[in-house]
Chains A and B, each alone.
Chain A
Amino acid sequence: MIQTILTVDDSRTMRDMLRLALVGAGFRVVEAVDGLDGLAVLAGERPDVIITDINMPNLDGFGFIEAVRDDADNRGTPILVLTTESDPDKKARARDAGATGWIVKPFNPEKLVQAIRRVAA
């Protein structure tokens, strides 16, 4: 069964990098450019895992995660937070918002897949 990953990031470079790594690992990828866009995509998609950036315009990662957790249809979807900060406060905030785990940028494809494996059935 091919798993679908939703990537939410305002950086085109980062979205392309994620796509390259994820498609290469056999995942199907859908993309969103910020939190609001991510919620819009979720109206029509049921991804197996969501990977989201924190710093984004319109709706940031924290707000996006909270909104997903408030959505009855998607509250059980694992969410991995992409962050360049290794700072524990950010992780704690992401966890409080409802993040399942995190990926520290710069990531490498194997790490990415490993993190997905940890949260996806």
Chain B
Amino acid sequence: MDELEIIKGTFFQECEELLADLENGLLAMEAGSGDAETVNAVFRAVHSIKGGAGAFGFEALVRFAHVFETLMDAVRSNKVPATQSLAADLLRAADILADHVNAAQSGDLVDEGRTAAMAAELTALTDPDGLAAPADDEGDFPDFTPQPIAIGGDELGDLGGDEFGFTPMAVALPDDAPVADEPADAEWEIVFTPHASLYRNANEPALFLRELERLGLLTVTLDDSRLPALEDLDAEGAYLSWTARLTTDADETTIREVFDFVEADCDLIIRPFTDDLHDLHDPDGDDLAEAPAMPDIAAILAKAAAEAPIPEMDALPAAAGAVAAAPAAPAAAAAPKAAESNQGFAAQATIRVDPERIDKLIDLVGELVINQAMLAQRVVECGLAPSSSVATGLDDLEQLTREIQESVMAIRAQPVKSVFQRMPRLVRETASMTGKQVRLVTDGEATEVDKTVIERLSDPITHMIRNAIDHGLEAPDVRVAAGKPAEGVVKLAAMHRGGRIVIEVSDDGAGINRERVKAIAISRELIGPDSQLTDDEIDNLIFLPGFSTAAKVSDVSGRGVGMDVVRRSIQALGGRISIASRPGQGSTFTLSLPLTLAVLDGMVIDVAGQTLVCPLTAIVESLKPKAEEIRNLGPSGAVLAVRGGFVPLIDIGYVLGFRAAPLNAADGVVLLIENEDGGRAALVADGIQGQRQVVIKSLESNYRQVEGIAAATILGDGRVALILDPDAVVAMRRQGGRAPDPALIAAE
């Protein structure tokens, strides 16, 4: 890849970080906890984005960033007060800035109307009285012209502008030199008298003379008449003056620009050379004018060395040589490039790795785990004692394998922060669309989870937050009437619990209107008109396909995606979602997902001669039922009495079609499973082999989706085993209509 493209990649990466800093800073300001450094950091973030964008010629981004930056500059110099309402406006501006960054990256167009409106708003905030600039668009940034960078080409022609402080010299610019407009070579006299401040700032008179020489034929005389006796000499004083005569086709502006850096640190006279002046200052001028400049400069350099306040005796003679050698230097010095490019990495604490390499490593470690399990099984088959050295060696290997696997998974683990970061904007936009006042509180951003899981968290969280604002929170006036603050709170939290990641989205709204939910469910024929449902069961009706509580489809949540879709996508990841709600106090959606999609702790079971794996997380307990605990209901239904309650018995082999009639639970074992919504079921299997960690192999990508089966794995003996999706097995049983009605059981 082109080096510039790589830097562009860095730029967008950096933009992401800067936008996050920007948002965090603005949120702190909005919360009233920002100090001067917060304002500075916000300014710097916008400033850096603008700087990089300018280098790559992202004009629209630069323009907007410039308006933003101008306002932030006014804020940090206390010209504009940093109020909380200003921070709220700036947050919206930050969203648009993020849009611009994305647009620059993707090449898409941004919403120009929104940008212009926001830019106008920012300009008005910067200058509330409209005193400074006319209101037209160009007035916002009259003299800022981004210049795309080009490496290696002859791009000097683009860069004539005065705003850069200097202009390419005629020597370097044969094509662009204003030859046509100028009367060919003119003679100039330049009197250059440095002040002490010029030396203090590490400027070197000889270098200005060297620059002048690049413009044409140069003759220089030194006036050392003010040089005091050595004992009176102030080492840091300025005593010398130079008079140069330059024959050049460059104009006065070009000559003056040589002294751009030191205009305020010297006396400078630049005037066309006439014979009068010539006679006055330099009786031998004619001879000198023809003489080559070099010897003069060398002499001057030698003399200047006496005056230079900073001893650099070795550097100065070298400078004279450099006058001639300078153009050749870049080529000669290009060689150490490779050595140099390593330098920057020393300071970096992170490395970037192609994700494919990590995926490959994870696959390999998966194979290693399988291989290790196979080896262990062979050892057992050989009849070696568990205390034998081979067996203990294998134990160590197993330990190591597990550690390697955990370490490898940790490489891909990332904090959920990257997903959480996108939510404040979502909240702002949803709040403004629904006219509600919302504060987002986040917790547990540092919670880590596998990258593959993170990528799929964003959509469900987005939907749950939209849902919480749109359906959960009340309008401000309704809240005030209910004795709550007008501003609603949506809390987004992440935590590790029981080897899974749990995401909670809660609101302090009205809670689920159960009467209404039930009425809707009945009207849509999702439940029977006289169903007796518990509060939890009613709450969970919203996950049913085809359910929507909004009387009219709103802009926000009504995008054709219901909570049923959310639940299905979560379940596809081996996750669960549930809701808890309290009238008047709000609702909490709880979403739990495995930490990784690569390995799974499972219970290996026998079903009708097949080996299956049931995810351990789904299993509450396993038990061997007694005949008297089983109660048959109808020809193929049965329930199990567990601690005073009844749960439906579901034979896995029957549901999956391994056998024609369900196994009597008394002849097998029962896995008691619990859904996230609290529903229980008793899965019947023939026997249990044991618990094992298995590597998940996708069935979908290798074969096709199979109902009731989540994935596949390879066992220690090398055989393929299917991994059950317990919830789906329960659902299949229900759809088959053969499961006993829970209401009926409850009635007994």
A-to-B contact residues, CB < 8 Å = 1-3, 10-17, 19-21, 23-31, 33, 55-57, 69, 75-79, 84, 86, 91-92, 95, 98-102, 104-111, 113-115, 117-121
Contacts and interface: CB of A to CB of B under 8 A. Distances in A.
A119 B202 contact: yes
B48 interface: yes
A52 B207 CA distance: 21
Given A86-B143, A95-B265, A111-B166, 10 more contacts: A17-B7, A19-B341, A31-B343, A31-B347, A55-B48, A76-B202, A78-B203, A86-B165, A110-B155, A111-B164
Given A12-B10, A55-B43, A108-B155, A86 B163 contact: yes
A107 to B, nearest CB: 8
B314 to A, nearest CB: 10
B156 interface: yes
Contact of A105 (B54, B206, B319): B54
A99 B201 contact: yes
A114 B40 CA distance: 32
A-B residue pairs, 9 tightest by C-beta: A26-B333, A76-B310, A101-B261, A121-B319, A13-B52, A106-B54, A13-B11, A26-B330, A11-B48
Contact of B51 (A29, A57, A78, A106): A106
Given A13-B14, A84-B54, A119 B207 contact: yes
A71 to B, nearest CB: 12
B347 A13 contact: no
Contact of A119 (B155, B200, B204, B310): B204
- Residue among B52, B164, B201, B319 with the highest chain A CB neighbour number at 10 A: B201
A104 B149 CA distance: 13
Contact of A118 (B40, B41, B211, B316): B211
Interface in B143-168: 143, 146-152, 155-156, 158-159, 163-166, 168
B528 to A, nearest CB: 63
Interface string B198-226: 00111110111001000000000000000
A84 to B, nearest CB: 5
B344 A110 contact: no
Given A14-B52, A75-B202, A109 B151 contact: yes
Nearest to B341: A23
Contact of B202 (A17, A27, A79, A84): A79
Contacts of B332: 26
Contacts of A108: 147, 149-150, 155-156, 158-159
Contacts of B14: 11-13
- Residue among B14, B41, B164 with the highest chain A CB neighbour number at 10 A: B164
B72 to A, nearest CB: 10
17 contacts: A11-B14, A11-B52, A12-B13, A26-B332, A26-B333, A55-B48, A57-B44, A92-B264, A104-B163, A105-B51, A106-B51, A108-B149, A110-B155, A113-B330, A114-B166, A118-B207, A121-B316
A44 to B, nearest CB: 12
Given A26-B331, A84-B51, A86-B163, A20 B7 contact: yes
Contacts of A120: 207
A26 B55 contact: no
Nearest to B48: A11
A111 B257 CA distance: 13
A107 B55 CA distance: 7
A79 B168 CA distance: 21
B312 A13 contact: no
Given A30-B343, A86-B143, A24 B151 contact: yes
A111 B159 CA distance: 9
B318 interface: yes
A92 B261 CA distance: 10
B229 interface: no
- Residue among A31, A56, A117 with the highest chain B CB neighbour number at 10 A: A117
Contact of A100 (B55, B201, B337): B201
Contacts of B169: 114
Contacts of A3: 333
B4 interface: yes
A12 B17 CA distance: 11
Given A13-B7, A23-B341, A57-B41, A84 B47 contact: yes
Interface string B344-358: 100100000000000
Given A17-B149, A76-B202, A104 B165 contact: yes
A14 B55 contact: yes
Given A13-B11, A111-B164, A24 B310 contact: no
A107 B155 CA distance: 11
B318 A1 contact: yes
A25 to B, nearest CB: 5
Contacts of A29: 340, 343-344
B175 interface: no
B334 interface: yes
A119 B265 CA distance: 14
A3 B143 CA distance: 34
Given A19-B341, A20-B7, A109-B151, A10 B48 contact: yes
B172 interface: yes
Contacts of B276: none
Contacts of A114: 166, 168-169, 172
A26 B332 CA distance: 7
A91 B47 CA distance: 17
B201 A21 contact: no
A19 B344 contact: yes
A12 B150 CA distance: 19
B329 interface: yes
B315 interface: yes
A7 B148 CA distance: 21
B322 interface: yes
A78 B334 contact: no
B697 interface: no
B560 interface: no
A104 to B, nearest CB: 5
A10 B151 contact: no
B280 interface: no
A2 B335 CA distance: 10
Contacts of A104: 163-165
A69 B202 CA distance: 9
B473 to A, nearest CB: 38
Contacts of A55: 40, 43-44, 47-48
Contacts of A110: 155-156, 168, 172
A45 to B, nearest CB: 11
B343 to A, nearest CB: 7
B315 A106 contact: no
B3 interface: yes
B117 interface: no
A113 B566 CA distance: 57
B344 A102 contact: no
A26 B261 contact: no
A75 B310 contact: yes
Nearest to A14: B51
B151 A21 contact: yes
Contacts of B6: 16
Contacts of A106: 51, 54-55, 146-149
B745 to A, nearest CB: 64
Contacts of B318: 1, 121
B156 A20 contact: no
Interface string B168-192: 1100100000000000000000000
B50 interface: yes
B261 A117 contact: no
A121 to B, nearest CB: 4
Interface in B301-329: 309-310, 312, 315-316, 318-319, 322, 326, 329
